[in-house]
């Protein structure tokens, strides 16, 4: 889990907006894929068999951290 401080230190305001758009499905994961992988590099081991698994795992972590940090609200 990353804190809002860690998120804001790692990502610019514009990048945070892009991350929110990625979570909401308005942008492709590939737009920020390497940056997201770098950010969570210490919290997961890439799955060499499935990039889709990695993508979903990282998106779930990102969504959780952004929601917990109050940077995004997802309507179910």
Give domain limits for the chain.
Answer: 4-68
Q: What is the pTM of this model?
A: 0.85
Q: Give the pLDDT confidence score for residue 33 in this predicted structure.
A: 93
| Tokens standing for residue 19 | 């991350």
Taking alpha carbons only, the member of 44, 21, 41 closest to residue 32 is 21
Handedness of CA 21, 56, 44, 49 (dihedral sign): negative
Main-chain phi, psi angles of 10, to 5 degrees = -85, -35
In SS3 terms, 7-23 reads as HHHHCCHHHHHHHHHHH
Q: Give the pLDDT confidence score for residue 13 in this predicted structure.
A: 94
Q: What does the alpha-carbon distance between residue 63 and residue 69 come to, in Å, rounded to a whole number?
A: 10
pLDDT (tens digit per residue) in 3-52 = 999 999 999 999 999 999 999 999 999 999 999 999 998 888 887 777 78
């Amino acid at each position: 889990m990353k804190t809002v401080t860690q998120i804001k230190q790692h990502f610019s305001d514009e990048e945070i907006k892009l991350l929110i758009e990625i979570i909401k499905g308005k942008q492709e994961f590939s737009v920020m894929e390497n940056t997201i992988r770098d950010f969570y590099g210490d919290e997961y081991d890439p799955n060499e068999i499935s990039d889709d698994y990695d993508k979903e795992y990282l998106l779930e972590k990102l969504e959780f951290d952004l929601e917990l940090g109050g940077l995004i609200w997802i309507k179910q």
